Amino acid sequence: MSVRLDPLTGVLQGAAVKESRRTLAGLTGYFRDEAARAAMDQDRLAYRVQAYEPKPEGERGAVCCATTFLEPGTVGDEYFLTRGHFHVNEDCSELEVTVSGTGLLVLMTAARRTWTEPMRAGSVHHVPPGTAHRVANTGDAPLVFVSYWPSETGHDYGTIVERGFGARVRRIDGQPAIVPEPD
Ligand code: F6R
Ligand code: ZN
């Protein structure tokens, strides 16, 4: 079994690589302006993920990796984003390595303390244990990054669906702004 990660493009290839696509229809409820999202082309691609998971999700004993290709764009004044999640196993951290593009990694503790880190080619980001993470593309080109996490991690999307993050990344006066969001 062989897997190849192209270091210039982030493309992951091999029989064991699985690709998933998330359109605007699959991001219902994630943006501040839901009416603006609903008025857009529901088939428009927001991001693709190519994942190599040597063990099934939740089973320990392996390291997984995935490349995310997050398209540029906005919904209302909010930049295209990934859904974001906590890890079920709170001991599990993650690394994000940016391949190309520009954006912000949004991080949030269980107590909703929220901060961001700028992403650009070559930037490496550690997501500490117990920290929710989401990415927003603030540039004009796809934002491509590779994530690495332990196979026993598990993914909790429900908490973010219910409560969101403590801040949103919005385009205000043409510039990215990190705007606190009430709970
Ligand atoms: C894995 C991880 C990334 C994301 C990907 C898509 O733990 O954090 O590979 O899964 O960037 O984002 P979500 O999964 O939040 O839709
Ligand atoms: Zn993760």
Its pTM stands at: 0.97
Q: 173 CA to middle of ligand 2, Å?
A: 31
For the stretch 96-113, pLDDT in tens is 999 999 999 999 999 999
Q: Which atom of ligand 1 is nearest to the CA of 157?
A: 15
How far is the C-alpha of 59 from the C-alpha of 56, rounded, in Å?
A: 6
Whether residue 165 contacts residue 181, with contact meaning beta carbons closer than 8 Å, is answered with yes
Provide residues with CB under 6 Å of ligand 1: 49, 66, 68, 82-85, 94, 133, 147, 149
Residue 139 is encoded by which pair of tokens? 């540039």
Q: 169 CA to middle of ligand 1, Å?
A: 17
Whether residue 6 contacts residue 17, with contact meaning beta carbons closer than 8 Å, is answered with no
Ligand nearest to the CA of 137: 1
For the stretch 111-152, pLDDT in tens is 999 999 999 999 999 999 999 999 999 999 999 999 999 999
